Amino acid sequence: MEAQSVIRLEGVAKSYRLGRVQVPALVEVTLEVARGEFLALAGPSGSGKTTLLNLIGCIDKPDRGRVVVDGVDVTHLPLHRLAATRAEVLGFVFQTFNLIPVLTAFENVEYPLLLRGVGRRERRQRALRWLEQVGLAAQARQRPDQLSGGQRQRVAIARAMAGDPKLVLADEPTANLDSDTAANILDLLQCLNAETRTTFVFATHDAALIARAPRCIRMRDGALVREAIAA
């Protein structure tokens, strides 16, 4: 199954120390995500959604269990290999956009490609292509403080997609947007998923996003408690 999966977790557990107490964040999580899925992780704050994304995103490591991303067991990879996997396989979209304030929209999209050593001409072509894809070609030279919240999130999506990721992880991507803007962002994400077959995994409280996801996994107290698949 791993050849058909972009994510596989087996018996994954993770705890964090709070003072003298070990607080469990994930408890024996087993999960498989097929390539091309549009999957929502739903649950209240503290249910373990962000911790799960951090493990899949090679930002953190489990205390026990196994994490496989794009066919590579990343559970015990050294830090430099984890960083390489993040750069080559993953894209990230955040609730707070995480754009660099002093850079233009174009420069924000281009910057991760610069870090990866992509040549100048190719960087420019990719950045402009993805800004056009998300409807922001005319705003390429504007800084984040000159853009609306929805436009900033579109820049963040362009930045995530410019690296041709196999998998995009999004942590509450519509939480800071009004309902109409959030709906437009969801339309964009679903179009990108359909057109590129990139896998999208979301952590969300957004009922509209949950309703649109063909597959939704609900979490509580660090465990997967229920799965729903759209008819």
The H or E element that residue 220 is part of is strand 215-220
Tokens of 21: 């107490």
Beta bridge partners of 201: 39, 169
CATH 3.40.50.300 assigned to domain 2-229? The reply is yes
Question: Does pLDDT of 36 surpass 70?
Answer: yes
* Mean pLDDT on 200-227: 93
Pseudo-torsion of CA 191, 196, 198, 204, nearest 10°?
A: -10
Tokens of 150: 């929805």
Secondary structure of the chain: what % helix, strand, coil (to 5)?
A: 40, 30, 30
Question: Does pLDDT of 5 surpass 60?
Answer: yes
For 139-176, what is each residue's pLDDT tens digit? 999 999 999 999 999 999 999 999 999 999 999 999 88
Single-letter amino acid, residue 72 = V
Domain residue ranges of the chain, discontinuous segments joined by +: 2-229
What pLDDT score does 20 carry? Answer: 87
Q: Give the distance between the most distant pair of CA atoms in the chain.
A: 53
Question: Does pLDDT of 231 surpass 70?
Answer: no
pTM confidence score: 0.92
